Amino acid sequence: MQFNRKHLLGLEELTAEEIRMILDTAVPFKEISERQIKKVPVLRGKTIINLFFEPSTRTRISFEFAEKRLSADTIHVGVSQSSVVKGETLVDMARNLEAMRIDMVVIRHPASGAPAFLAERIDSNVINAGDGWHEHPTQGLLDMLTLRDEFGKLKGLKVVIVGDVVHSRVARSNIWGLKKMGAKVGVCGPPTLVPRSLEAMGVEIYPRIEDVLAEADAINVLRIQLERMQSNMFPSLGEYNRLYGISTEKLEKAGRDVLILHPGPMNRGVEIDSDVADGDYQVILKQVTNGVAVRMAVLFLLAGGKPARAAEVAATLE
């Protein structure tokens, strides 16, 4: 079986088989990051440009590690250091980079659809590292890998996404991905942040966090994205925390184990309390570790790597 896509733009267009292929390919790649010499010669000679038009810690550095650990040549371009600030368009910029002979572009952009727009206009493989409110496919994949590690399966799991769903590309990628893999998906948050249109995607809407805690196997806690809100969408951060924030008190009251994920960055004391963020229920840093392996898998497959050879390739020493 081969991964036959040129780009990774979102999980909406992937089949369950393709998602499974990426997750399975990531598994042998995990071990590379645990070695003293964290490098295999898989993408030697490939040149990858990381175009980040929005701030990022996890995704940017995780892609950079994944590329370097696969021996690609990699260059980071932050928008403030590029000629975009002088008025150059995204496509002109990318075509100029292609004139220097690149192979792949990883792009984070505030506009939904920017990676797809670019993919139609350049020859390189394009990977969406988060576009506006649309999708963040590698985050969805690393969340699914972490859930599969913890529960041994995705099919039948009940995963509820809590918080600022309306502004969240992470929510959309998780919903598409988890539904395709047979999980039951719910969302919870203030009505202003949880669009009813999600019901059309087969997602259950929970008005109360107590009901989520009583039913969910795992909760993916989203950051309140104050920078994307045009007006106050709930009365105060304190009230948000009281009604929807994940606290030890609420978890203990539920009286059952619920796994806590958060894509980061976290607003401690708003959507998640510090004792939960650092506590026994969470797998937040395991998500970050899995992010490198998932991104290695995506790069390997888009470069034409065969899923069946992933273990053999990952075992190669530099």
Interface residue list for ligand CP (CB under 6 A): 56-60, 130, 136, 139, 263-265
Taking the complex as a whole, how short is the minimal distance between the CB of residue 261 and ligand CP, in angstroms?
11
> For residues 136 and 172, which CB has a smaller minimum distance to ligand CP in the complex?
136
Instruction: Please give the helix or strand (H or E) that residue 94 lies within, else none.
Output: helix 90-99
Task: Kindly state the tokens that stand for 241.
Answer: 């925390």
Cα atoms in the Cβ-side hemisphere of radius 13 Å centred on 261: 28
At its nearest, how many Å lie between ligand CP and the CB of residue 177?
Answer: 15
Beta carbon nearer to ligand CP, 5 or 58: 58
Angle at 208 between CA 206 and CA 211, to 5 degrees: 75
Which CB atom, from 123 or from 227, has the smaller least distance to ligand CP?
227
Shortest Cβ 287–ligand CP spacing (Å): 8
Given the structure tokens 């395991």, which residue do they identify? 286
Question: Are residues 18 and 5 in contact, defined by beta-carbon separation less than 8 angstroms?
Answer: yes
Least distance (Å) between residue 262 CB and ligand CP: 9
d(CA 13, CA 260): 27
Judged by CB, which is closer to ligand CP: 56, or 71? 56
For residue 134, the minimal CB distance to ligand CP (Å) is 13
**Nearest partner of 222 among 185, 181, 167, 141, judged by Cα:** 167
Hey, what are 43's tokens? Answer: 């993408």
What does the alpha-carbon distance between residue 246 and residue 272 come to, in Å, rounded to a whole number? 5
Compute the distance between CA of residue 180 and CA of residue 174 in angstroms, rounded to an integer. Answer: 10
Q: Is 122 helix (H, G, I), strand (E, B) or coil?
A: coil
Q: Is the Cβ of residue 60 or residue 180 nearer to ligand CP in the bound state?
A: 60
Place of tokens 């000629």: 83
Q: How far is the CB of 107 from ligand CP (least distance, A)?
A: 13
Please, which residue, 182 or 265, has the CB nearer to ligand CP?
Answer: 265
Q: Least distance (Å) from ligand CP to the CB of residue 5? A: 21
Q: Which is nearer to ligand CP, 10 or 130 (CB)?
A: 130
Q: How far apart are CA 299 and CA 290, in angstroms?
A: 14
